[in-house]
Amino acid sequence: MKPKMLQQGDTIGVVAPSSPPDMVKLKHGFRIYEKYGLKMKLSPLIAQREMYLAGTDEERAHNFMEMFLDPEVKGVFSAYGGYGSARMVEYLDFEGIQANPKVFWGYSDSTFLHLALYQQTGLVTFHGPMMSSDLGGEVDPLTELYLSQVMKPKIIIYDESISPLYVINQPAQPRTAPVIGGNLTLLISSLGTPFEINTLGKILFIEDVDEEPYRVDRMINQLRMAGKLAQAEAVIIGDFHRCFPRKRTESFSIEDILLHHVKKANVPAIGVMSAGHGNSTISFPLGANATIDFDNKTITFEPGLRGE
């Protein structure tokens, strides 16, 4: 279920489903979308603080639903990540969201929302940088280039002109399937819940930030032992930003860890795609099909929008 594209004059609903954003950076981040002719509507409690959360779980869920049900709002964008989206997902009205499909944009802690929205409603969402944490200062040209895909259906082709790519367990044929996933920490937190990630027949995308290699090892090992790697059609490895040893100086590299578990699961994989918490990152739809051509090292994402 693809949302309708945004047009000049449309309103974006800006929400904080996790931690509260920096309001100065948030308002600075509006400028890019304002260039597209879009207007902003802030969640009324976006600056609310409940310790490290932007309000109570019920309040954040209510604000999120208000934006999806508001006929004036055509897209719902996360202002900031941090922590907390998984705490409020159980309060969402998925039937209401399914009846009002809109562009949903975010990443990091919003991974849990991407997963829940797709698996509960079939809604295609967008993995991309957020206004406060990523667009509130200088924005890398590559990052900005992919933000406008909410305005027009667009095929996205990722190849080695953007970054070097390597292949693990190269298959004989390309793989085409819906892309799901996001932040590895949040994917692991879904296991054993009603929103557990289902990778069967899907292309799994993973990324993370500020995790030591041994912690990434522990998480990817759990994902593999839960069968989530082997069930996937393929894996796209994103940016594991600042994931270097601190506590344990004798350490495997992130590359060693990913190679070990992907090979053990015997699943085709390609990486590293500049997507995630790095300064230079592409945005792409989750839930829409992508095709990985392992011979030519290209990843082609179909548009995440319907055109009318």
Give whole-number Cα distances, 71 to 12, 76, 99, 119, 153, in Å.
11, 12, 12, 24, 22
Per-domain residue ranges of the chain: 11-150, 156-301
To the query of whether residue 308 is one of the catalytic residues in this protein, the response is no
Q: How far apart are CA 169 and CA 231, in angstroms?
A: 14
Q: Which of 108, 132, 133, 189 is catalytic?
A: 108
* Cα atoms found within 13 Å of the Cα of residue 267, Cβ hemisphere only: 28
Q: Which fold has domain 156-301?
A: Glucose Oxidase; domain 1 (3.50.30)
To the query of whether residue 261 is one of the catalytic residues in this protein, the response is no
To the query of whether residue 108 is one of the catalytic residues in this protein, the response is yes
Pairing of strands 11-15, 39-42: parallel
Tokens of 194: 């009603």
What pLDDT sits at residue 249? Answer: 78
What pLDDT sits at residue 308? Answer: 64
Q: Which of 207, 211, 233, 302 is catalytic?
A: 207
- Taking phi over 0 as left and psi of -120 to 50 as alpha, with beta for the rest, 99 belongs to alpha
Tokens of 148: 């406008």
What pLDDT sits at residue 161? Answer: 96
* Dihedral of the alpha carbons of 205, 209, 214, 215, in degrees to the nearest 10: -80
DSSP letter for each residue of 145-186: HTGGGGSS---EEE-TTTS--EEES--SS-EEEEEEEEEHHH
Q: How far apart are CA 237 and CA 273, in angstroms?
A: 6
Please list, in sequence order, all residues whose beta carbon lies within 8 angstroms of the beta carbon of residue 218, skipping any fewer than 6 positions away: none
What pLDDT sits at residue 307? Answer: 73
Q: Which of 62, 233, 277, 302 is catalytic?
A: 277
The low-confidence residues of the chain, meaning pLDDT below 50, are none
Rounded to 10 deg, the angle between the 213-225 and 254-265 helix axes is: 10
Q: Return the closest-CA partner of residue 240 out of 222, 265, 214.
A: 214
Superfamily of domain 11-150: Murein tetrapeptidase LD-carboxypeptidase, N-terminal domain (3.40.50.10740)
pLDDT in tens, 128-145: 999 998 898 889 999 999
Q: What is the pTM of this model?
A: 0.96
272: preceding bond cis by omega (within 30 degrees): yes
